[in-house]
A = this chain, B = another copy of it.
Amino acid sequence: MHPNMICEELHSALRTIAAKYAQDQICVVMDEEVAGKGKSIVESRWNVLCMPVSEEDKSLETVQRIWDFLFAHGITRRGLLICIGGGVLTDIGGFAAATYKRGVDYLNVPTTLLAMIDASSGGKTGINYGGLKNSIGCFDPPVETLICPDWLKSLPANQWLSGFGEMLKTGLVSESALWYQLLQYDLEKMDSEALKPLIAQCVAAKKRIVEADPKEEGLRKVLNFGHTFGHALEEISIQKSDVSSPPLLHGYAVVYGMIAELYLSVVKLRCPKEPLQQLTQVMLHYYGKPQCKCSDREALVALMQQDKKNERTAQINCTLIQDIGLPLINQVITPEEAHEALEYLFSL
């Protein structure tokens, strides 16, 4: 399994790894929004492609653009693709690398909290297809993920909150000590120094899980907590988004999804009510209520029935928790239960 390196000196860490490759065989794809700092850490000899990276760009067309870029620079199987950006970029870049000439090495430099905690490690790559999130992709780990919390200093508040949502999930499925530390972290201040030890704990917790089950055959599904409802909420919001109302950020969707799934954990597994109450407090204080109409509920349930995490068609599959740090995978939810959980979520 690949390492996740938390590093202070990104430029030198990057150069050390890149030294293992022929320098004309190194390509970089970069979110154009981080191009300023991004360009300062790459060598001038490397080929760079700056791209716009929104959820709508997470498409086969963007993958083709990266393939074309690699072909244009004559990258061989011994090449390296460096992906600098958020989770959307590292997911797409990883998929392009995994399928270019049957696989070239790639390295992730996550620039958002969400990507540091979640997307940039663990080897899940992919794109959205047929209206479904991450429905095409493969498992292929990066050779390295270089996590540098310095990027967070210029990160907008909503992106902080999005990443923090995945941190909260990691706490809930792994250990109560981490959960309570996260609840004590002062989100108002958004202090990246104070967050570092928590990032390190979340990354280590994820790493333990992914190493034990890289292809999500069992254990790894604990990381899907909050994601059955979360993905459906996210997809609906993408379908309905326009210039004036941007789609829901992933971590927000996961927080809302966790509320629904904690509710079901309480109802179905007698999970204590404290984590649901605590997360509800955090949600109301920082994230705000989810913006979904009652009329969306049918569509949400239908989307959940198509989720790729399901083992059988039209059956909704969830990870729930019995208590903090005690997740239970493969819990089947009826459409009625899904409606009840959505009712609860939208009533808050």
Interface residue ranges of A49-82 to B (CB < 8 Å): 60, 64, 67-68, 71, 74-78
Does any Cβ of B come within 8 Å of A126's Cβ? yes
- Name A104's closest neighbour in chain B (CB-CB): B308
Stretch of A94-102, A108-116, A199-207, A264-272 lying at the B interface: A94-102
Does any Cβ of B come within 8 Å of A322's Cβ? no
A44 CB, nearest partner CB in chain B, Å: 18
Does any Cβ of B come within 8 Å of A310's Cβ? yes
- Name A305's closest neighbour in chain B (CB-CB): B74
* Chain B residues near A60 (CB-CB < 8 A): 60, 64
Does any Cβ of B come within 8 Å of A197's Cβ? no
Does any Cβ of B come within 8 Å of A297's Cβ? no
Does any Cβ of B come within 8 Å of A16's Cβ? no
Interface size band for A: 35 or more
Contact of A308 among B76, B125, B216 (CB under 8 A): B76
* Chain B residues near A135 (CB-CB < 8 A): 71, 100-101
Residue of A126, A130, A132, A216 ringed by the most chain B CB atoms within 10 A = A130
Does any Cβ of B come within 8 Å of A291's Cβ? no
Contact of A313 among B74, B100, B140, B309 (CB under 8 A): B74
* Chain B residues near A129 (CB-CB < 8 A): 67
* Chain B residues near A243 (CB-CB < 8 A): none
Question: Could you give, for residues 153-187 of chain A, a 1 whenever the CB lies within 8 Å of some chain B CB and a 0 otherwise?
Answer: 00000000000000000000000000000000000
Number of copies: 2
* Chain B residues near A75 (CB-CB < 8 A): 313
In the complex, the answer to whether B25 meets A138 with C-beta atoms within 8 Å is no
In the complex, the answer to whether A136 meets B76 with C-beta atoms within 8 Å is no
In the complex, the answer to whether A103 meets B215 with C-beta atoms within 8 Å is yes
Does any Cβ of B come within 8 Å of A314's Cβ? yes
Does any Cβ of B come within 8 Å of A137's Cβ? yes
| A residues neighboring B (CB under 8 Å) | 22, 24-25, 60, 64, 67-68, 71, 74-78, 98-103, 124-126, 129-130, 132, 134-140, 215-216, 306, 308-314
| Top-4 shortest CB links A-B | A74-B313, A101-B308, A102-B137, A78-B311
**Beyond known contacts A25-B312, A102-B139: 15 more, CB 8 A cutoff:** A76-B312, A77-B308, A77-B309, A78-B312, A98-B138, A99-B136, A99-B137, A101-B136, A101-B137, A101-B308, A102-B134, A102-B137, A103-B138, A103-B139, A103-B215
